[in-house]
Amino acid sequence: MKRSTALVISTTALALMGTAVVGTGPALAHDPASANGKNKHVSLSATLTELNGSGASGSATAVVKNQKIESISVHADGLTPDAPHAQHIHYGDDARNECPTLFLDDANDDGVLNTVEGVPAYGPIVVSLTTTGDTTPTSALAVDRFPVSDDGSFSYFRTNIEFTDVAGTGYTGGGGTAKQIADSIREGEGVVVIHGIDYNGNGTYDFDGRGASELDPSLPAEATDPAACGILN
């Protein structure tokens, strides 16, 4: 698969990536005052650090007002050069709402974190940070609409992204409303994750690097494994 080739994503892969079941740990406490309308306009920032030895790093900033991201920017370096990189904001009330670690989240003990293994830490996808069009979890792997790194770097900016209801992210683990998600992101529980790692350094996402993705066996794991992560707070 060439770097510029858009990946064909199955419905099964989208369901796994957008609504994977998180751990059964205790739900996080929420500030009732905030949930009822306090601090409706908040500026947030995240420092992105590498996952899976990717060498990637970066930063993200966002302005959230009511149930909308007024603006968000992401800058990242050290990524697979000239390749598309899926990126999202994750959140789940039953998740830890933090970046995953090998110690806590490497379920099969293979020394690598795949996307689903990270879900107990960062939660399901609530926003797909695409360059154009839809930004819901439905676009979780719309690789033709995610940033392409230029020599290993990209700078992304987008405005007016509406939060939407996302099942499985709510305060009780059930139906998460756009308001609940927006309130929680403002409280510092949103996690930015960038995906895509050329493990074998041959310049493409292929099956030789680490086999098939757990999201869809027709996709290489190189295209979907998480490369960088940071908490918006």
Per-block mean pLDDT, blocks of 10 residues, the chain (233 long): 40 44 39 51 97 97 97 97 96 95 96 97 97 97 93 97 91 79 96 97 93 90 97 98
Residue 13 lies in a domain: no
- Tell me what pLDDT residue 173 has: 58
**pTM (2 d.p.):** 0.85
Residue 179 lies in a domain: yes
Domain that holds residue 97: 46-232
- Tell me what pLDDT residue 47 has: 98
Tally the domains of the chain.
1
Residue 84 lies in a domain: yes
Whole-number Å distance between alpha carbons of 160 and 179:
15
- Tell me what pLDDT residue 51 has: 98
Q: In CATH, what number is assigned to the domain containing residue 210?
A: 2.60.40
- Tell me what pLDDT residue 38 has: 52
Whole-number Å distance between alpha carbons of 202 and 36:
51
Residue 164, Cβ density class (10 Å: 0-12 exposed, 13-18 middle, ≥19 buried): middle
Residue 188 lies in a domain: yes
Residue 17 lies in a domain: no
